[in-house]
Amino acid sequence: MLYKNPRGIGCHRCHGESGRGLVLGRYKEGNETVVIKGPDITALSYKKFYQALTSTNHKLMPYYFLTNKEIKTLYFYLKAKR
């Protein structure tokens, strides 16, 4: 529930149904095609996962106001899905 509706846009919209990542779009910059992706978030350490969700300087990903307990819940949810 939290993964799909975390008081904001669902994580699955950018990271995929099971957190394995998703291509969000592509655009051309000169001759290069730039791919915008939500990365795979199933193989991270808890420390990295936690840092990503408590940092405010993402380019694309929104900042969520999640409690430590909620972050832990999300982490184990994704581990269980693997």
> Given the rule CB under 6 A, which residues bind ligand HEC?
6, 9, 11, 13-15, 38-39, 41, 44, 48-49, 52-53, 58-62, 64, 74
Q: Which is nearer to ligand HEC, 27 or 31 (CB)?
A: 27
Q: How far is the CB of 25 from ligand HEC (least distance, A)?
A: 11
Q: Which is nearer to ligand HEC, 31 or 45 (CB)?
A: 45
Q: Which is nearer to ligand HEC, 64 or 79 (CB)?
A: 64
| CA separation for the pair 75, 23 (Å, rounded) | 21
| CA separation for the pair 14, 40 (Å, rounded) | 10
Residue indicated by tokens 């996962």: 49
